[in-house]
Chain A
Amino acid sequence: MEWRETLRALRLAGSPQALLPVVVMMATIGGIAALQGVWVLQMFGADRLLSGMLAQVTVRDMAPTMSALMLAAQIGTAFAGELGAMQVTEEEAALRAMGVDPVRFLVVPRVVALTVVAPIAAGLGAVAALGSGYLGAVFVHGASAGPFLAGLAAQISPAAVAEAIWKAGIFGFLCGLLSCFHGMRARGGAEGVGRAVNAAIVQSIVVVAAAEAALTTVLLRVQS
Chain B
Amino acid sequence: MTTTTVTTPAAPADRSPATTGSRTRAGGTGGGSTSTRLRPGAHKENRIGWGFAAPFTILFVLFLVWPLLHGLYLSFTGQSLTGQGGELIGFANYAEAFADGAMWRSMLNTFWFTILSTIPLVAVALVLALLVNTGLPGQWLWRLSFFLPYLLASTVVSLFWIQLYSPTLGPINTVLATLGLPQPAWLQDPDTAMIAVVATTVWWTVGFNFLLYLAALQNIPDQQYEAASLDGAGRWRSLWSITIPQLGPTTGLIVILQVLASLKVFDQIYQMTNGGPAGTTRSTVQYIFESGFTGYRFGYSSAISYIFFAVIVVISIAQFSITARNRKGAQR
Decide whether A and B are members of one complex.
no
User: Which A residues fall within an 8 A CB radius of B?
Assistant: none
User: Which B residues fall within an 8 A CB radius of A?
Assistant: none
